[in-house]
Amino acid sequence: MSETSLAEHEDRWIMNLRGLAVTQISVGYHLFLHLDSDARVDLGCPFKLTQALGEGRQEVLLDPGKQDVAAALGLFGAKVLSAVAFKTGSLRLVFDNGCHLTSQADPSFEAWEVEALGPGGWRIISTAGGKLAVWPGPSMTS
């Protein structure tokens, strides 16, 4: 199991998920990305997936509530390069296959959640209205 941790900055939290691969994708009214055995990403509101296409990029809006997430299947096997939770409630994940996933805060619902599993785990949720709820691991100091 790799070391997952959080680092707080003035406007964001850096989530150390670097190198974790998407090993499972599941869909209900949410899209779940399982990262190795260490973490999971839960997307409950529409989000953008930007994919590299030749020399350009294509941006697609995906809606888990309508199970309109087929483009996210391209994330299977991809490794996380960067994971950032902005204190405005936005999420940005960058993958080694050139994909970027971005989710904005929702005024009425929890838009997304990222959770590191196991001992010392942590959790960040984008709450309704654009704030973050953060449960740092037991050994973290802010």
Q: What is the pLDDT of residues 86-100, one digit of tens each?
A: 999 999 999 999 999
Cβ atoms 64, 27 nearer than 8 A:
yes
pLDDT band (50, 70, 90) for residue 141? very low
C-alpha 18/C-alpha 58 separation (Å) is 24
In this prediction, residues 30-57 reach a mean pLDDT of 91
Average pLDDT, the chain: 92
Cβ atoms 93, 100 nearer than 8 A:
yes
Q: CA 102, 75, 113: angle at the middle one, nearest 5?
A: 45
Residue located via tokens 């936005």: 90
Element (H, E) at 115: strand 112-116
pLDDT band (50, 70, 90) for residue 52? confident
Q: What is the pLDDT of residues 66-81, one digit of tens each?
A: 999 999 999 999 999 9
Q: How many CB atoms lie under 10 A from the CB of residue 34? A: 17
